[in-house]
Amino acid sequence: MRIVTIIQARVQSERLPGKVLKEIDGEPILAILVNRLRKAKHAGTLVVATTGSPQDDAIVKVCRGLDVPCFRGSGRDVLSRFYFAAKHFQADTVIRVTADSPFLDPDVLDLIAGFYKEHQDQYDFVANTAPPPGTFPDGMDVEVFSMTALKKAWQEAQRFSEREHVTFYFWKNPHIFRIYQVKAREDLSGIRLAVDYEDDFKFIKKMHRTFKQQNRFGTLEEIIDYVRKAPGTDLENQKHSFGEGWKLALQKDQELLAVTQDKASALRLEKGDALWNLVIQVIPGGAQTFSKQPGQFVKSVAPKMLMRGIGSRVWDLDGNEFIDFTLALGPAILGHAHPEVNRAAYECARDYFTVSPLAHPLEFELSQKIQSLIPCAEMVRFGKNGSDATAGAVRLARAYTGRDIIACAGYHGWQDWYIGSTSRNLGVPQAVRDLTVKFEYNRIESLEKILREHKNNVAAVILEPVCFDLPKNQFLHQVRKLCDENDVVLIFDEIITGFRLDPKGAQGFFGVTPDLAAFGKAIANGYPLSVLCGKADLMRKLEDVFFSFTFGGELPSIAAALKTLEILERDQIIPIIHRHGRSFIDGYNSLARELDLPFTRCEGLDFWPHYYFNEAHGFSGAEWLTLMQQELIKRGILTRSGVFISGLHSSYDIQEMLYAVRKALEVIKYAAVSGNLPELIEGEIIQPVIRSS
C-alpha cells in the first residue's frame, strides 16, 4: 500500500492572505508543519499540493528548501488538484491535511492512518472531523481515504462546495462511501489551532515560542494543557467558530448549483500587459504562431501571455486561472504537462537527445506502433511540425507522379505550396501560387472540375478528412474513387483528427484509406513531432526525395509520443473526449434554444465541437463571436470557437464551461434585444488569421 500525505497549501487565502508562508522565528508555517509530519510513522510520502498561479511560486521555493515534492494544480477546483497530485505520486491511500494547521500532532495522524490501515477492507474514508465538527480540536484535522474513493469523488462531484472542499462529497454521500469518524477521548472541539485569521496567527506564534523555550514538542496533550492554562487575553482567536470556510462554500451552492459563482468582472492584466509592451519590440507580432497572437482574443479583456499550464488549467502572469479549451491549438490531448509523458521525455533526454549521425531504436519502435494503428501506414517518417509532414507529402506526390498541380481543401500549413493559395501569400511567387487549386469540402463537383481542367497534371488531392463539417453523401469515398480513376495521390491531413477522432485516425473512422497521411499535434501531447506515413511504394521514394531535418530524430519527443499513445489506449482517453464533447454540444444547443437565440449553434463531431454565430440583428458573426469570447474569458474560460477537450478535463470543467456559456448567451440575448452590441464589446473585434482570398 503506497501512502501519500498531501498538504493543501496556497497563498491566496481570502481571510488571511499568505498565511501558510507567515514566519515564526524565521520559519514559515508550512515548514513547521512539514517538519512535524516527518515524525509520523504512517505518513508515507509527504507532498505539498499548491496551485499553478505565479503567486504560489513562493510555496514551491519553500518546498525546494525543505526537500519535499510540490505538485501544482487548480486553485478553483481543489478536488481536481488533490486527485491529480495523488495520481502523480501513484498513491493507493491518500492522507489529507492542510497547511494552516501547523501544530498538527504526528501522533494524531498516526492514530487516524493506523486505524484506516487496519480496517481498509471495511472503510473507504476515515477521519477525525466532519461537518458538523468532530471531537478533535480545529487544526488537528486528518482525513484518510482510498485512491478509488478519491477518483469517484473527482468524477462525480458537481457542486462548488464539493470541488472547493476535497472531502465534502464523501461526507454528503454515506450511502456511497463507507465512512468512519475517529473520536477523541473527550470533546476538544472548542479548542482552535487552525490559522485563518490574524489573531489565530498571534496565538500560534506565542504558543510555538513558549514550547520552544521549554524544549517541548507540542503534543496534543501539551497543547491542551497550554490552552487551558493560558490567560483569556491570549485566547482571543478561540471566538471563531469551526467550519467558517465550509459555510461560505455552502452559501455559494445556494447561489449556483452544480457550478461556480459568476465571475463576470474585468481581470487584472497589469503584469502581462507591461511585459507585452517589451515583447513586441523584439518579437514581430509578439508570438511565434499567428494563432497565438493576441489578435485571436479580445484585446484589453484577455491576457496576452500565459505563464503556466497544468492539466486542464492555465495561468497568466497576473495569476488569473482559466480552464483551457485551446490546448496549445490542440496538441495537449492528455492535458498540459502530463507527468507520465514528461517523465518519459526526461528519462530519454538523460541518455540521448538527438543522436547523430545515426538512427536510434526508438524511431523504429514508434514507427511500428504507428504502423499497427493507422491503415495506410506501411512506412513512416518523422518531422517536427504538421507543416513538415504535409509539405513532405506534397513533394513526395509530385515526385511519384511527375505532375505539378495540388488540389486542396482545408488548412495545411505555412509553406509556400499551400499558404500561397490564401490571403497570407506575401512573399510567395505567383508561379508557386498557381500550382495549388482549392476545392470545396462536401462538393465533389468542385474536385471533378479541377481534375477536368488540369487533366493528367494533378499530382495529389490533399484534404482534412473532417473538420467543421461531416462528410455527406459518401464524400470521402467519392474522393478516393476519383483519385483512383485519375491516378492521383490521395493525402489525408490528419494533423487535427489524428488520435483525437479515433485511434486509427479519420481514415479508420470513416473507412477510407488514403495513399499518404500527415499526423501531428496530439501525437506527443505537446512535444514537437509530426508523422508522414503511407503506402510503401510511395514512401520508398523518400530514399531520393529530400525530406530531411537535423531534429527529425529528436528522441525525447519520440519517447513522449510512445507514452502518449500508450496512455490514450490504456486510459481510454478518446471516449472520454467524445463524451465531454457531446455534453458540450448538447448543452450549448439546449441553452441557445432556451434563450431563443437561433443565430448561434454548436456543431461538429464530438472530438472537436465548434460554436458559430450567423449575422443577426445587424451585426456580423465576428462581432457576436467577439462578445461571446469576452464574456467567457471574464468567467475563467479560455477558448476559441473550436473547443479542444483533453483527457484531463473533468465533467465539472464541462459544467463550468456550460455555466459560463449560459451567462455569456444571456449577455448576447440582451445585446440582440437592445441593439447595443458595440457598447458591450470592451476590446477589438477578433480577426481570422487567414481571410478568404
At residue 419, the 3 state secondary structure works out as helix
> Residue 189 falls within a domain, yes or no?
yes
pLDDT at 47 over 80: yes
> Residue 561 falls within a domain, yes or no?
no
Domain hosting 309: range is 270-335+574-680
Q: How many domains does the chain have?
A: 3
> Residue 504 falls within a domain, yes or no?
yes
Among candidates 458, 457, 521, 522, which has minimal Cα distance to 490? 458
CATH code (residue 523): 3.40.640.10
pLDDT digits (tens, 9 = 90+) for 115-153: 999 999 999 999 998 665 678 999 999 999 999 999 999
> Residue 57 falls within a domain, yes or no?
yes
Same domain as 29, residue 173: yes
337-350 average pLDDT score: 94
What is the strand order of the sheet 379-383 is part of?
A: 379-383, 530-534, 516-519, 489-494, 458-463, 405-409, 436-438
Burial of 190 (0-12, 13-18, 19+ CB in 10 A): exposed
Rounded Cα distance, 181 and 197, in Å: 27
Same domain as 590, residue 504: no
Rounded Cα distance, 609 and 246, in Å: 36
Same domain as 652, residue 512: no
Same domain as 251, residue 276: no
At residue 54, the 3 state secondary structure works out as helix
Q: Which of 553, 587, 608 is the last residue of a domain?
A: 553
- Supply the DSSP symbol for 41: S
32-36 average pLDDT score: 96
Among candidates 259, 263, 237, 240, which has minimal Cα distance to 249? 259
What confidence category does residue 251 fall into, taking pLDDT thresholds of 50, 70 and 90?
low
Rounded Cα distance, 5 and 34, in Å: 10
- For residue 132, cis peptide bond before it (omega within 30 degrees of 0): yes
49 versus 294: which is more confidently predicted?
49
Same domain as 283, residue 217: no
What confidence category does residue 307 fall into, taking pLDDT thresholds of 50, 70 and 90?
very high
Same domain as 533, residue 481: yes
pLDDT at 33 over 70: yes
pLDDT at 56 over 50: yes
CATH code (residue 89): 3.90.550.10
Least confident interval from 41-55, 230-244, 497-511, 574-588? 230-244
- Supply the DSSP symbol for 258: T
Same domain as 293, residue 218: no
289-310 average pLDDT score: 84
Give the model's pLDDT for residue 258.
36
Rounded Cα distance, 182 and 269, in Å: 47
Give the model's pLDDT for residue 355.
66
Helix H or strand E segment including 383: strand 379-383
Give the model's pLDDT for residue 248.
57
Same domain as 327, residue 364: no
> Residue 206 falls within a domain, yes or no?
yes
393-421 average pLDDT score: 96
Same domain as 100, residue 175: yes
pLDDT digits (tens, 9 = 90+) for 555-567: 999 999 999 999 9
**Angle at alpha carbon of residue 617, lines to 612 and 623, rounded to 5°:** 50
Same domain as 199, residue 320: no
CATH code (residue 302): 3.90.1150.10
Give the model's pLDDT for residue 517.
98
Same domain as 514, residue 434: yes
pLDDT at 254 over 60: no
What confidence category does residue 247 fall into, taking pLDDT thresholds of 50, 70 and 90?
low
15 versus 341: which is more confidently predicted?
341
> Residue 567 falls within a domain, yes or no?
no
pLDDT digits (tens, 9 = 90+) for 644-653: 999 999 999 9
Give the model's pLDDT for residue 263.
46
Which residues, at least 6 apart from 382, have a Cβ–Cβ distance to it below 8 Å? 363, 366, 529, 530, 531, 532, 552, 553, 558
Same domain as 36, residue 181: yes
Residue type, 205: K
Average pLDDT, the chain: 91
Give the model's pLDDT for residue 257.
42
pLDDT digits (tens, 9 = 90+) for 635-681: 999 999 999 999 999 999 999 999 999 999 999 999 999 999 999 99
CB contact at 8 A, 692 and 423: yes
What confidence category does residue 404 fall into, taking pLDDT thresholds of 50, 70 and 90?
very high
